[in-house]
Amino acid sequence: MNRKTWGSRMQIGLLLLPGVLIFGIFTLYPIAKLFLMSFFKWDFGSILSQEFFGLGNYGEVFGDPYFHTVFVNSIVYTLVTVPAQMLLGLLTALFINSICHFRIGFRVLYYLPVITSWVIASLVFKYVFNTEGMLNYFLTSVIHVTGQNIRWLDTRWGGLTIAMLLGIWKGIGWNMVVFLAALQTVPQELYEVASLDGAGSVRKFFSVTLPAIRGTVLFALVMLTIGGFNVFTSIKMITDGAPGHQTDTILTWMYYKAFSTGKFGYSAALSFITAVVLAFLALVQFRLMKEGEN
């Protein structure tokens, strides 16, 4: 290796060094530390003298009846919000892509919920659906549909439904932007050929549009699935797990176990169980999408 090549590689290495250090310190090290914590009995009482616990934390997670509840809640949240966001986002993108005027205005309108603070949006939804909230006032005092307030947030599925509505409302704009960018890359010649073959709008969508944006669909599916399992702010602000942790999801339960009960080892184990589940789901989604292409 001559001096010039060595100098070039040194320059590249020096340019990459800050990014590598930041990634190592703030990403790789915390992950490694968290993985080690999952094998120790690490709580408020043993911060300075951790006791090796082996797979005990993992056994405690799987044996916890609340884990099954929060895991089901996370799955239901994901199964409901992900398809709804993708479908509504795609329909919105198709609508905007088909019009000639006011495209920018519609983009801004649909994207506003995305940039709205999760905390503010959650508090607004809580105010609307609270027992003494706006919706109950409208139903009881304005249109007189019912004589008593409906306790929307006091049941497991009621609270989760409100959080899912918020998640769908917040996610439509993101999907719209992603799918709109993909739609604008589809060659118009394909639509012209389909028109010559007598294809209508529905057939064009399934025969031309959908295959052309398959990669974008997969990207959105994987990202939204990860986001669905990581839902936190809306649940925390709207129900805070009530009643009796029945509306908790994986992240809110993890937060509760770590910072309310001091079970850091338990929370670390739960985080890696979640990571394995998400990795498995991502692999399944990639495999199914690849088989669909064949």
**pLDDT tens series, the chain, 294 aa:** 566 677 777 888 888 888 899 999 998 998 898 899 889 887 766 555 677 888 999 999 999 999 999 999 999 999 999 999 999 999 999 999 888 788 888 899 999 999 999 999 999 999 999 988 889 898 888 888 888 888 999 999 999 999 999 999 999 999 999 999 999 999 888 888 888 888 888 888 988 999 899 889 989 999 999 999 999 999 999 999 989 999 999 999 999 998 888 888 899 999 999 999 988 988 888 787 776 565
How many Å from the N-terminal Cα to the C-terminal Cα in the chain? 45
C-alpha span between 217 and 226 (Å, rounded): 14
Distance, CA of 149 to CA of 66 (rounded, Å): 30
User: What pLDDT score does 233 carry?
Assistant: 95
Provide the pLDDT for residue 47: 57
pLDDT score recorded for residue 49: 60
Per-residue model confidence (pLDDT) at position 46: 58
Residue 294 exposure: Cα atoms within 13 Å on the Cβ side: 5
Q: Which amino acid is at 236?
A: K
Sign of CA dihedral 268, 273, 276, 281: negative
Task: Indicate the SS3 state at residue 178.
Answer: helix
Predicted pLDDT of residue 291: 65
147: its two tokens: 């004589």
Q: CATH classification of 55-293 is 1.10.510.10, yes or no? A: no
Q: Angle 132-136-139 (CA atoms, 0-180°, nearest 5)?
A: 155
| pLDDT at position 61 | 93
Q: pTM surpassing 0.85?
A: yes
Q: Which residues pair with 51 in a beta bridge?
A: 41
User: Which pLDDT does position 237 carry in this prediction?
Assistant: 94
| Cα dihedral 66/71/73/74 (nearest 10) | 140
| Three-state secondary-structure class, residue 154 | coil
CA distance 38 to 52: 9
3-state DSSP assignment of residue 39: coil
163-to-135, 181, 251 alpha-carbon distances in Å: 16, 28, 14
Cβ–Cβ under 8 Å, residues 245 and 226: no
Task: Classify residue 28 by its DSSP letter.
Answer: I
